[in-house]
Structure 1
Amino acid sequence: MTRAYLAFTAKGLALAEKLAAEYPGSVARCGHEPGQPGLADWTARQFAHSDALIFVGAVGIAVRAIAPHCKSKASDPAVVVLDECGRFAVPVLSGHLGGANELARRLAAVCGAVPVITTATDANGVFAVDEWARHQNCAVLEPERIKKVSGALLAGRTVRFASDWPIAGSPPAGLAEDAATPELALTLCPAGDALHLVPHIGVLGVGCRRGTGADTLAEAFAAFCAQAGFAPQCIAAAASIDLKQNEAGLLAFCQSRGWPVEFFTAEQLRQAPGSFTPSAFVQSVTGVDNVCERAAVLAAGGPLVFHKFARTGVTFALAARPFAPDWRWQHV
C-alpha cells in the first residue's frame, strides 16, 4: 500500500512523521511557505497515485479536499483523518475495499488514538463482504450489490453463497452454502445476478506472431474472455517465451493492464508439468510444441484453467495460482 501523509501545523507534522515511521509513506506539510504543497494540488496528485491518504488535521478540511475526486468505492483510495493531538483516527473513504478501516485501527495503535469506525457492518459486528474480499485478494465485480448482501445480513436474513474453491473455517453468521441459487459467489466465471468475487490469481499465457500489435492482442483477448466466460479481473500477470520479450505490441498490451510479464526459454517451457496442446508449426518456430499453455502453467505454479485459444495469429491460455480462501482471515 502506498501512503501519503499531509499535515497543516508543526504539531501535526510531528505526528505524521511518527505514523510514517511505522507505516511508511511520503510526508508533506500544507501551507503558504515556499516548497509547501497546496491542499488542492496535493490531494489531486495523491488521490490519483496513492493507495491511502492520511490527513493530520480537521475532518472537514479532508472532506472538502477529496470531494471533487470521489468516484467509486471500487476505485477510490483509502482516506483516514487523525486530529493533530492523536486522539482520534477516522476512516472517511473506502473503509472496506480501500482498507481505510483497517489502516485507521493500525494508525490509532501507533499513537494511542481511538479508531472511529462508522460502517454499519462493523458497528453491528456483521460480516463485511467487501473487506473479506480485499483480504482474499479478490475483485468485487458489482460493487453496487455489496449493499444488498450487507443489508440482508444487517436485517438478520440469510445470505446464500457458492464457491469454486473450498473455503477454510466456518462461514460467518448469516451465510449459508447454496450452489444452486447463490447471492454471493466466489468464482472466475461470473453468471447470474449474485455479488461476484473474483480472485486475482490468473496468469495469461500468450503466444503471437512477430509484429502483432496491441490492438490485435486486445481484440483476441476480449474474444477469449467471452468464449471462456471468465472475468478479466482475475488476471494478475502474463507469460510467454523469451523470443517475444522485445515484442512492442505484447509489452504495450500487458503494460496497459498493469500485468507484469515473465518470459521463459524453450528449454524451461519443455519442463512444464502437464498435458498440453501440441503444434508442429510452433515447434518448428520456437523449439517447443506449445507456448501459451506451458508459459501460463510455469508462471502460475498451478494448473491450466482454460486451454489454448487461437485467433488472428494470437494464442492465449489461462492458468491459476494456488488459492486458499479462509473465512477466518481476521485470525490467520
Structure 2
Amino acid sequence: MTRAYLAFTAKGLALAQKLAAAYSGSVARCGHAPGQVGLADWTARQFAGSDALIFVGAVGIAVRAIAPHCQSKASDPAVVVLDECGHFAVPILSGHLGGANNLARALAAVCGAVPVITTATDAIGVFAVDEWAKHQNCAVLEPERIKLVSGALLAGRPVHFASDWPIAGTPPASLTESADAPDFALTLCPAGDALHLVPRIGVLGVGCKRGTSAGTLEEAFAAFCAANRLALQCITAAASIDLKQNEAGLLAFCQDHGWPVQFFPAEALRAAPGSFTPSAFVQSVTGVDNVCERSAVLAAGGPLVFHKYARTGVTFALAVRPFAPDWRWQNV
C-alpha cells in the first residue's frame, strides 16, 4: 500500500512523521512557506497515485479536499484523518475495499488513538462482504450490489452464497451456501444478478503469429472472455514462449492491461505438468506442441481452467494460481 501523509501544523507534522515511521509513506506539510504544498494540488496528485491518504488535522478540511475526486468505492483510495493530538483516527472513505478501517486501527495503535469506525457492519458486528473480498484477494464486479448483501445481513435476513472453491471454516451467521440464485458468488465466470467476487488468480497463456498487433490480440481476447463468460478482472499476469519476448504487439497488449508477462524457453514448456492440446504446426515452429496452455500452467503454478482458444492467429488459455478462501480471515 502506498501512503501519503499531510499535516497542517508543526505538531501535526511531528505526528505524521511518527506514523510514517511505522507505516511508510511520503510526508508533506500544507502551507505557503518554501517546501510546503498546496492542499488542492497535493490531494489531486495523491488521490490519483496513492492507495491511502492520511490527513493530520480536521475532518472537515479532509472532506472538502477529497470531495471533487470521489468516484466509486471500487476505485477510491483509503482516506483516514487523525487529529493533531493523536486522540482519534477516523476513516472517512473506502473503509472496506480501500482498507481505510484497518489502516485507521493500525495508525491508532501507533499513537494511542481511538479508531472511530462508523461502517454499519463493523458497528453491529456482522459480516462485511466487501472487506472479506479484499482479504481474499478478490475484485468486486458490482460494488453497487454490496449494499444489498449488507442490508440483508443488517436486517437479520439470510444471505445465500455460491463458490467455485471450498471455503475453509464455518460461514458467518446468516450465510448459507446455495447454488440457486445466490446473493453473492465467488467465481471466475459471473452469471445472474448476484454480487460477484472474482479472485485475482488468473494467468493468461498467449500464443500468436509473428507481427500480431495489439489490436488483434485485444479483439481475440474479448472473444475469449465472451466465449467462456470469463471476468477479465481475474487475470493478473500473462505468459508465453521466449520466441515472443520481442513481439511489440504482445508487449503492448500486456502493458495496456497492466499485466507482467513471463517468457519460457521451449525446454521448460515441454516439462510443464499436465495434459495439453497438441499442434504439429506449433511444434514445428517453436519446438513445443503447445504454447498458451503450457506457459499459463508454468507461470501460475496451478491447473488449467480454460484450454486453448484460437482466433485470428492468436491462442489463449487460462490457468489459476492456488487459492484457498477462508471465512476465518480475521483470525489467520
The alignment's TM-score, normalised by the length of structure 2, stands at 0.99
**1:204-224 deviation line (CA, Å, top 9, x unaligned):** 000111111111111100000
3-state SS of the aligned residue for 1:126?
coil
Query: One-letter code of the match for 2:74?
Result: A
d(CA) in 2 for partners of 1:261 and 1:18? Answer: 38
Q: Which residue of 2 aligns with 1:311?
A: 311
State the AA in 2 paired with 1:288: V
Q: Greater shift after overlay, 145-154 or 255-264?
A: 255-264
Cross-structure match for 1:189: 189
Question: Aligned-pair distance for 1:58?
Answer: 0.5
Amino acid at match of 2:105: R
Q: Return the alpha-carbon distance in structure 2 between the equivalents of residues 245 and 54 of structure 1.
A: 41
Counting only pairs closer than 5 Å after superposition, residues 122-271 of structure 1 correspond to structure 2 as: 122-271=122-271
**What corresponds to 1:37 in structure 2?**
37
Question: Structure 2 counterpart of 1:106, which letter?
Answer: A
1 CA distance for matches of 2:84 and 2:298?
50
Deviations 1:138-179 (A, max 9, x none): 000100000000000000000001100000000001101111
2-structure distance, mates of 1:210, 1:39: 50
Task: Give me the whole-angstrom Cα distance separating, in 1, the residues matched to 2:314 and 2:48.
Answer: 34
CA distance in 1, matches of 2:35, 2:212: 47
| Partner of residue 20, structure 2 | 20
The aligned amino acid for 1:114 is V
Query: Which amino acid in the other structure matches residue 125 of structure 1?
Result: G
Task: Give me the whole-angstrom Cα distance separating, in 2, the residues matched to 1:6 and 1:191.
Answer: 43
CA RMSD of aligned residues (A): 0.6
What CA distance in whole angstroms lies between the structure 2 residues aligned with 1:2 and 1:115?
A: 20
Give, in whole Å, the separation in 2 of the partners of 1:257 and 1:174.
38
Question: 1:240 is aligned with what amino acid?
Answer: S
Give the Cα separation in 2 of the matches to 1:221 and 1:37: 44
Equivalent position of 1:78 in the other structure: 78
In 2, the alpha carbon distance for the partners of 1:81 and 1:212 equals 49
**SS at 1:288's partner residue?**
coil
Letter in 1 for 2:12: G
List gaps (5 residues or longer) in structure 2: none
Q: What is the deviation of 1:181?
A: 2.2
Alpha-carbon deviation of 1:34?
1.6
Quick one: distance in 2 between partners of 1:248 and 1:46? 32
Q: 1:273 is matched with which residue?
A: 273
Aligned-partner Cα distance in 2 for 1:97–1:6: 22
Residue in structure 1 matched with residue 60 of structure 2 by the alignment: 60
Misfit runs of 4+, over 4 Å? none
TM-score, normalization: structure 1?
A: 0.99
Amino acid at match of 1:318: L
The 1-side partners of 2:317 and 2:57 are apart by: 50
Note if contact 2:169-2:326 (Cα within 8 Å) is conserved in structure 1. Answer: yes
**C-alpha separation in 2, matches of 1:239 and 1:310:** 16
CA distance in 2, matches of 1:299, 1:81: 41
Paired residue type of 1:61: I
CA distance in 2, matches of 1:281, 1:237: 26
Tell me the distance in 2 between the aligned counterparts of 1:23 and 1:128. 25
Task: State the secondary structure of the residue aligned to 2:289.
Answer: coil
User: Which residue number corresponds to residue 107 of structure 1?
Assistant: 107
The offset of 1:314, in angstroms, is 0.7
Q: Tell me, in whole angstroms, the C-alpha distance in 2 between the residues paired with 1:267 and 1:216.
A: 28
Residue 296 (structure 1) aligned with residue 296 (structure 2): yes
- Any residues of structure 2 matched to 1:85-96 within 5 Å, and which? 85-96=85-96
8 Å CA contact 2:181, 2:192 repeated in 1: no
Q: Secondary structure at the match of 1:256?
A: helix
Query: What amino acid does structure 1 have at the position aligned with 2:291?
Result: V
Q: CA deviation at 1:35?
A: 2.2
CA contact (8 A) 2:266 2:287 kept: yes
> Aligned partners of 2:75, 2:133: CA distance in 1, in Å?
14
- Please name the residue that 2:49 is paired with: 49
Matched letter for residue 264 of structure 1: F
- CA shift at 1:296, angstroms? 0.2
